[in-house]
Chains A and B, each alone.
Chain A
Amino acid sequence: MSVLVYIESQDQQIKKSSLEVAAYGRAVADAMDTSLIAVTFGLADSDLLSHYGVDKVCNVQTEGAAYFNLSRHSSTLARVASEEEATVLIVSGSANGRYLGPAVAMKFEATYFSNVIGLPLSFAPLKVKRSCFTNKAFSYSTSHKEKVVLSLAANTYGIFEKKGNMDQVTVQYAPNASTLEVVSEEKSTQQVSIADAEIVVSGGRGLKGPENWHLIEDLAAVLGAATACSKPVSDMGWRPHSEHVGQTGKPVASNLYIAIGVSGAIQHLAGINSSKIKVIINNDPEAPFFKAADYGVVGDAFEVVPVLIEKLKTLKGN
């Protein structure tokens, strides 16, 4: 028996969401009194994982393969999981994690649960809490199979260090069984993606037009935040669809979510509900967002935001 975690890296750096998965995997392994095994792909140096309670790391030699490959990644993970007699396999809630999870679950003959929140409530049978109805509710679900694949909801568990000895082995990358081929990857010019950002600054229709987006961008820049927008803003073409957050757009689970000139339609609030602290700046005190926010400023964004940017610049400058 063992617990397996999929470790995702980008530019040879382990993603923060994967460190969270490692810490979570350690707690699951402790509860099951078994060992934690991590699987990395094309990562030159995986020593960092020994700080997060990983007992053994299997480094998959991708031999220069530049891109994520669903067929090869899922076959490799399922094979390692079988060899290590894993009963729990954990992936993050990243785009690749959620792409991989159900495919591995099929190859590994396991039950798949996405959006898992917190540690399993029991292990035999396995019972988990997960978010559903786009963050409007939780469900408690149980598996009828012995093996499970869990996709951990982003930024819900936390990252905890636990240093120890870690074995390292090299494993082979499974051959490609798919006609699909990744041609190229295009990263947006944003420094940090909405999925990985600690802070997200989001603008709504209250900003009156795309020409005023410097307010959002400048505030985001001083906070090191990602920028986002409401559905009407992306529908009107003020901002690209990739910035649309909400029920039919991207989910947000940042530590801090600052909404400016967003009214707070139920679909928008559902999508950002997993963020820990929510701030709204809006001149309409009746805007529904004020009911969902932790902190609010009733005021004109065009007056409030420039002052806020200056104050934060002074603060960060010190």
Chain B
Amino acid sequence: MKILVCISQVPDTTSKINFIEDNKAFDNQGITYVINPNDEFGLTKSIKLQQQEQAEVVVASVGDASADAILRKCLAIGADRAVRIDTLPQDGLYVAHQLASFAAEEAFDLIITGRESIDYNGGMVGAMLAELLQIPFVTNCIYLEKKGAEIHLEREIDGGKEKLKGEFPLVIGAQKGLVEEKDLIIPNMRGIMQARQKPLTIRAAEELAASSSTLYYEKPPAKGPVKLVDPENLDALIDLLQNEANAL
């Protein structure tokens, strides 16, 4: 069994978001980059499968040399090798094309992306990768178990979940629930040392034109101050919600 986990580096979840260059670029100053949380749930699942099924785990990221630290961290967590496709991500389709051209060269049984990245929130790379490779896709994936040749999966839907059955090859969009928060692996010293010996290959990117561009960014307008209501006078709260906010 061979697994590809697609990794995107994103600003840490506590980051304050700012823009520079007339709001045309993201301000990196003071930002710590981490593995996209949805990708990390997927990576952790792949390490479980590596242990249970002797799967080989390959991680790949589309990015410049700044992505190497994140890939090394994936290797320290337990991935067997890493591939960086050497180009800056333009948009979701561009990233999907770059990953597909790599994935097409190796016979992966399972390809894992996060359901979305927490920075651009495109939520499209997994679905597009699956379309490009002509294999099935399950997003918001909260369960995956291999039972012989059959793969049992669950997809979170609005107000519940859906149980599915399929076979490899498959692409899934991982999220919390595929593994638990407590299952996430913090690399230990041994893992970090081993990661230095594991291969991190740099792969040349395909020449592609982007199908969309981000022109500029904007931050939400500053919020007005909170209106405080006396806990002894909750009628005032109900009145505000009913008559000022029209929310009841």
> How close is A180's CB to chain B, nearest CB, in angstroms?
4
Q: Which of A180, A276, A291, A303 contacts B226 (CB 8 A)?
A: A291
Contact A291 B223 (CB under 8 A): yes
Provide the bound-state CA to CA distance between A192 and B159, in Å. 7
User: Which of B19, B175, B228 counts the most A-chain CB atoms under 10 A from its CB?
Assistant: B228
Provide the bound-state CA to CA distance between A263 and B53, in Å. 42
Q: Which of A99, A151, A179 contacts B140 (CB 8 A)?
A: A99
Binary interface encoding of chain B residues 157-175 relative to chain A, with 1 for a CB under 8 A from any of its CBs, else 0: 1111111111100100001
Does any Cβ of B come within 8 Å of A249's Cβ? Answer: yes
CB-CB under 8 A from A48, the residues of chain B are none
Does any Cβ of A come within 8 Å of B190's Cβ? Answer: no
Q: Which of A94, A140, A273 contacts B218 (CB 8 A)?
A: A140
Total inter-chain residue pairs, C-beta < 8 Å: 246
Does any Cβ of A come within 8 Å of B211's Cβ? Answer: yes
Binary interface encoding of chain B residues 99-140 relative to chain A, with 1 for a CB under 8 A from any of its CBs, else 0: 000000000000000001011111110011011100011111
Does any Cβ of A come within 8 Å of B176's Cβ? Answer: yes
Decide: A111 near B158, CB < 8 A? Known: A103-B131, A296-B227: no
CB-CB under 8 A from A94, the residues of chain B are 158
CB-CB under 8 A from B132, the residues of chain A are 106
Contact A187 B240 (CB under 8 A): no
Contact B119 A196 (CB under 8 A): no
Contact B234 A137 (CB under 8 A): no
Provide the bound-state CA to CA distance between A213 and B142, in Å. 25
Nearest-CB residue, chain B, relative to A177:
B134
Contact A308 B212 (CB under 8 A): no
Per the CB 8 Å criterion, the residue count for chain A at the interface is 93
Does any Cβ of A come within 8 Å of B20's Cβ? Answer: no
Provide the bound-state CA to CA distance between A127 and B216, in Å. 11
Decide: A112 near B13, CB < 8 A? Known: A127-B215, A140-B217, A143-B212: no
Does any Cβ of A come within 8 Å of B204's Cβ? Answer: no
Nearest-CB residue, chain A, relative to B230:
A297
A-side interface mostly: mixed
Does any Cβ of B come within 8 Å of A71's Cβ? Answer: yes
> How close is A279's CB to chain B, nearest CB, in angstroms?
7
Contact B214 A180 (CB under 8 A): no
22 contacts across the A-B interface (CB closer than 8 A): A71-B136, A94-B158, A101-B124, A102-B123, A105-B128, A106-B127, A111-B212, A127-B215, A140-B215, A142-B212, A145-B212, A180-B166, A199-B247, A244-B176, A256-B241, A256-B245, A290-B226, A294-B226, A295-B240, A299-B231, A303-B231, A315-B248
Chain A residues with CB under 8 Å of chain B are 67-68, 70-71, 94-96, 98-99, 101-103, 105-107, 111-115, 127, 129, 131-145, 151, 178-188, 190, 192-196, 199, 223, 235, 241-242, 244, 247-249, 255-256, 265-267, 270, 273, 276-277, 279-280, 290-300, 303-304, 307-308, 311-312, 315
Chain B residues with CB under 8 Å of chain A are 11, 13-14, 16-17, 19, 37-38, 92-93, 116, 118-124, 127-128, 130-132, 136-140, 142, 155-167, 170, 175-177, 181-182, 209-220, 223, 226-231, 234-235, 237-238, 240-241, 245, 247-248
A96-B158, A181-B164 provided; 20 other pairs, C-beta below 8 A?
Answer: A99-B139, A111-B211, A112-B92, A137-B220, A141-B214, A144-B211, A151-B123, A180-B136, A181-B166, A183-B165, A193-B159, A241-B176, A248-B176, A266-B16, A277-B241, A290-B226, A295-B229, A295-B241, A295-B245, A298-B228
